C-alpha cells in the first residue's frame, strides 16, 4: 500500500464523489419530507374532528329553549306540508299524463286518411291531364261558347280553334265536375237521392253557420263538419258494404258519363267528335274514384273551381300563359254581371235578358257600374273592389261574388284611354281557370289551379 492514500477496508466497496446522481442534489431530506406530510395530514384531520356536544335544553336560557321548541314545530309543519305538496304534485302529474294519452288516443282513433297528400296530388294531376287531352282533341269542334265563359273568350275563338278553345274545354269540364259531382254527391256508393241529400246537409252546416270572429271558430266549424261526416259514414256502413253499393257506383258513373257527353255535345258541331267516347268515360271514372275517398278523410279536402272575374289568389293559383289576349270579346263580355259559381249568386233569365243593357268593349264603364249598383247594391260593389290576398273560404267566396261584378276588359284598357279608368285600375282577375285547386282546408295546398289572368 502506497503512502498518502487512505486505508481501505477489505471486502467493502469504496465510492467516489461522482457516484451521487446530479438530479438528487438540492432535494429535501427524507426526514424533512415526512414531517411536511404529517403536518398536512394533521391540518386535514382538524376539519373532520368530532364536533363538541350540543347544549341540552336544560343548559339553554328560557328564551333560547322557547325558540328551539318553536323551530322544531315549524320544521315538522313544513315537512308535513312538503309531503302533501309532493304527493299532490305527483298525483296531478299522473292525471295530466293520463289526459294527454286519452287525447292522443282519441285523435288517433279519429284520424283517418284514405289517401296521403302525394297520392291526392298525383291523381288530381292525372285528372287534369285527361281533361287537357280531351280538350285538345275537341278544340276545333266547338260551335258555341258556354255562357259561363263567354265574357272571357274572343269572338273568333271558335273559328281559330287553337289554344283559347283548348282552355275553354279545360275550364268547362273542370267546372262541370265540381258542380255535378264533387259538390253534389256525398258518397258515390250510396243511392243517388240519399247521397244528394246528405251532401246538401253537409253544405248547409257551413252555409248557415254564423260569421267567423276568429280562427278558432273556423277550426271549430271544420271539426264539427268532419265529425258529422265521419259519424254519418259509420251509420251507413251497412249500406256501403252491401252488394248494392257497387251497383250504385256503376249507376252514378253511367249517369255522369251521359250528362257530361250531352253537356259537351250542346256546344259542339254535329256529328260530335269521336274523342268524346274515349275521353269522357276516363275522366268520369277517375273523378268518381277520387270522390269515393274524399268523405273518408278526417280532414277537409277542398276542391275549388274559380269562375271568370274571381280575384287572383297566388296561394292557390298558378298563372298560365299562351292564350291570345281578350281583345274582341262576345257581346256579353262587358256586362257588369258575370256568372259566379263560387258565390252561388246567379241572375234570373229575366235579369240577364231584360234587366240591363249590354255594354260593348268600348262603351262607358261607368254606366255599367251604375247599373250594377242599382241591381246588386252596395254589398256587391264593396266585394268587387276587395284586394287580393289569402282570405278564408267564406271571404274568398264573397270576393268571388264581388269579382263577378267587374268587366274582364277593364284591366286590359290602356291607362290613358278615354273609356278606361285613368286612376283607379282594377286588379288582375281570373279570365279562365283551366283546372281545379285542391287543398286541405286551413293547412296545405296540394294542387294549384292553373288560371289565365285578365292582364
Q: What is the helix (H) or strand (E) element at residue 433, kind and residue range?
A: strand 430-433
Q: Give dist(CA 428, CA 243) in Å, integer.
A: 51
Q: What is the helix (H) or strand (E) element at residue 7, kind and residue range?
A: none
Backbone angles phi, psi at 432, to 5 degrees: -145, 140
pLDDT of residue 146: 92
DSSP string, 233-270: HHHTHHHHTSHHHHHHHHHHHHHHHHHHHHHHHTTB-S
54 grid coordinates: 350540543
Q: Give dist(CA 413, CA 420) in Å, integer.
A: 6
DSSP string, 333-360: GG-S---BTTTTB---HHHHHHSS----
pLDDT of residue 446: 94
pLDDT of residue 348: 36
Residue pLDDT tens, the chain, 455 long: 444 444 555 555 555 555 555 555 555 555 555 555 566 565 555 556 666 666 666 667 777 778 888 888 899 899 888 888 888 888 888 888 888 777 766 665 556 677 888 999 999 999 999 999 999 999 999 999 999 999 999 988 888 878 999 999 999 999 999 999 999 999 999 999 999 999 999 999 999 999 988 888 888 899 899 999 999 999 999 999 999 999 999 999 999 999 999 999 999 998 989 999 999 999 999 999 999 999 999 889 999 999 999 999 999 999 998 888 888 887 544 444 444 433 443 343 333 333 333 333 333 333 433 434 333 333 333 333 333 344 444 444 444 444 443 456 554 544 444 444 444 567 889 999 999 999 998 889 999 999 999 87
Output the pTM of the full model.
0.63
pLDDT of residue 142: 94
Q: 103 pairs with which residues across the strands?
A: none
Closest CA to 318 of 396, 434, 409: 434
pLDDT of residue 232: 95
Under 8 Å CB-to-CB from 184, ≥6 apart: which residues? Answer: 196, 199
pLDDT of residue 386: 39
Under 8 Å CB-to-CB from 400, ≥6 apart: which residues? Answer: 306, 307, 309, 310, 311, 340, 342, 343
pLDDT of residue 113: 74
pLDDT of residue 28: 55
Q: 429 pairs with which residues across the strands?
A: 311
Amino acid at each position: 500500500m502506497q503512502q498518502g492514500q487512505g486505508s481501505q477496508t477489505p471486502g467493502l466497496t469504496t465510492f467516489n464523489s461522482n457516484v451521487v446522481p446530479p438530479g438528487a442534489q438540492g432535494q429535501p431530506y427524507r426526514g424533512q419530507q415526512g414531517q411536511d406530510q404529517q403536518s398536512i395530514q394533521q391540518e386535514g384531520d382538524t376539519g373532520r374532528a368530532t364536533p363538541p356536544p350540543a347544549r341540552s335544553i336544560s343548559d339553554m336560557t328560557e328564551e333560547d329553549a322557547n325558540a328551539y321548541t318553536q323551530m322544531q314545530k315549524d320544521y315538522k309543519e313544513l315537512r308535513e306540508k312538503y309531503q302533501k305538496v309532493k304527493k299532490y304534485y305527483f298525483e296531478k302529474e299522473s292525471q295530466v299524463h293520463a289526459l294527454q294519452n286519452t287525447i292522443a288516443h282519441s285523435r288517433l282513433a279519429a284520424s283517418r286518411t284514405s289517401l296521403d297528400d302525394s297520392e291526392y296530388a298525383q291523381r288530381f294531376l292525372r285528372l287534369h291531364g285527361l281533361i287537357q287531352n280531351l280538350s285538345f282533341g275537341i278544340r276545333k269542334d266547338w260551335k258555341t261558347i258556354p255562357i259561363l265563359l263567354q265574357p272571357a273568350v274572343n269572338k273568333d275563338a271558335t273559328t281559330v280553334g287553337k289554344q283559347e278553345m283548348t282552355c275553354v274545354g279545360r275550364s268547362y269540364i273542370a267546372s262541370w265536375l265540381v258542380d255535378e259531382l264533387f259538390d253534389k254527391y256525398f258518397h258515390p256508393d250510396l243511392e243517388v237521392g240519399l247521397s244528394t241529400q246528405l251532401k246538401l246537409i253537409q253544405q248547409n252546416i257551413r252555409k248557415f253557420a254564423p260569421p267567423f270572429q276568429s280562427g278558432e271558430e273556423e277550426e271549430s266549424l271544420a271539426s264539427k263538419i268532419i265529425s258529422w261526416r265521419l259519424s254519418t259514414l259509420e251509420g251507413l256502413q251497412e249500406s256501403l258494404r252491401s252488394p248494392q253499393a257497387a251497383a250504385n257506383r256503376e249507376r252514378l258513373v253511367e249517369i255522369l258519363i251521359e250528362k257530361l257527353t250531352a253537356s259537351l255535345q250542346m256546344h259542339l258541331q254535329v256529328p260530335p267528335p269521336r274523342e268524346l267516347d274515349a275521353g269522357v268515360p276516363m275522366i268520369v271514372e277517375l273523378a268518381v274514384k277520387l270522390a269515393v275517398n274524399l268523405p273518408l278523410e278526417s280532414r277537409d279536402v277542398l276542391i275549388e273551381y274559380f269562375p271568370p272575374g274571381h280575384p287572383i289568389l297566388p296561394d292557390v293559383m298558378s298563372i298560365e300563359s299562351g292564350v291570345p289576349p281578350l281583345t274582341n270579346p262576345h257581346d256579353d263580355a262587358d256586362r257588369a254581371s258575370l256568372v259566379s259559381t263560387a258565390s252561388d249568386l246567379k241572375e234570373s233569365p229575366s235579369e240577364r235578358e231584360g234587366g240591363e243593357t249590354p255594354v260593348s268593349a268600348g262603351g262607358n264603364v261607368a254606366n255599367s257600374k251604375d247599373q250594377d249598383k242599382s241591381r246588386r247594391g252596395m254589398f256587391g260593389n264593396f266585394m268587387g273592389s276587395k284586394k287580393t290576398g289569402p282570405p278564408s273560404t267564406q271571404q274568398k267566396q264573397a270576393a268571388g261574388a264581388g269579382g263577378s261584378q267587374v268587366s274582364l276588359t277593364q284591366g286590359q284598357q290602356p291607362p290613358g284611354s278615354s273609356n278606361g279608368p285613368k286612376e283607379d285600375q282594377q286588379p288582375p282577375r281570373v279570365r279562365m281557370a283551366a283546372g281545379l285547386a285542391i287543398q286541405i282546408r286551413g293547412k296545405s295546398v296540394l294542387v294549384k289551379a292553373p288560371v289565365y289572368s285578365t292582364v
